Amino acid sequence: MKPDTFKDKLVPVTTILLALVAIWYVAAVLMNAPFQRDMDSRAGVTPTTLEFIGKTLAQPKPILPAPHQVAQNVYENTVLRSLSSNRSLVYHSWVTLSSTLLGFGFGMLLGILLAVLIVHNRAMDRSLMPWLVASQTIPILAIAPMIVIISYNVLTGDNALAHLLNLDSDASRLVSKALISTYLSFFPVAVGMVKGLRSPEIMHLDLMRTYYASPMQTFWKLRVPASIPFLFTSMKVAIAASLVGAIVGELPTGAVAGIGSKLLAGSYYSQTIDIWAALVAGSLLAGILVAIVGVAAKIVDRAMGGRPA
């Protein structure tokens, strides 16, 4: 069976994309029609059907903006804006990306550490794993304000941790938001690594024993290489979750920069086009991050001797 070519993958994806855009346009017309009908009635005009549809797709504050309105907003706030402008989506994406990457780094370290403890210690397996699962049942929107406010006050207060880290207010605010990303990203990493570290078959473990390999040698030469594919798969989930955590972490703090702040400002002033543009920016950022993890996975796989699929 021949592997799928780029054309084989592009055609189905493009077809679905065009179908979604068509549905989006129809929904925009239907949802914006009542307001436009009311406006026309007040003005005493009777537009033709095409004129009416055109007006529903060109409202300044529509209930559902049309795709071309969102695309125009994204273009104006990325290409035509200075990168340092507080209206630039690139600037806001960078602010969110910084806390995303920091939280993802914390989540990776925490998830891998927990996985190693769970795999090598039965007591930790029985006591820790249920709490890890339970931690993900708590709604993040409910605890995000508490985590951000408490951690910020701890990091900027008069205590041993604050004196040890010696962070300024901006860095403390960044770490506080990153903790939400850490909370969402450590779990998939921990679960994936636990499955990966336990993936070697009994026969392979017995073979290592016949070589008189120490537990440390078995860990580094057998368990860790076997866990790499599981780790990268979980990293794809974790990096996307980390981005969501960074955006959620910006909402309760009244942040003035970041994709979360754009969403909040858009909701305050009913700027639905800005809201959708921020959503598109967040989606593109998530896609880029997942793609980078995928490329890194292929590079590591080939470096370990894997064959291209």
pLDDT in tens, 68-87: 999 999 998 888 888 778 78
Structure tokens at 290: 């997942």
Question: pTM for the whole thing?
Answer: 0.82
**C-alpha distance from residue 99 to each of 38, 64, 233, 250, 300 (Å):** 44, 30, 22, 10, 25
Look up residue 185 and give its amino acid: S
Q: Which residues, including other chains, have CB under 8 Å from residue 204's CB and lie 6 or more apart? A: 222
Structure tokens at 166: 């010696």
Look up residue 161 and give its amino acid: L
Q: Which residue has the higher pLDDT, 253 or 98?
A: 98
Q: Which residues, including other chains, have CB under 8 Å from residue 213's CB and lie 6 or more apart? A: 221, 222
Sign of CA dihedral 242, 247, 248, 252: positive
Phi and psi, residue 167, nearest 5°: -90, 145
180-191 confidence digits (pLDDT tens) = 889 888 999 999
Q: Where are the alpha helices (DSSP H) in the chain?
A: 6-43, 49-56, 67-76, 89-120, 122-135, 140-156, 160-165, 169-197, 202-210, 215-218, 224-250, 259-268, 272-303
- Asked whether the predicted pLDDT for residue 260 surpasses 70, the reply is yes
Structure tokens at 139: 């709604």
Instruction: Over range 211-221, report the average pLDDT.
Output: 87
120-136 confidence digits (pLDDT tens) = 888 878 888 788 878 77
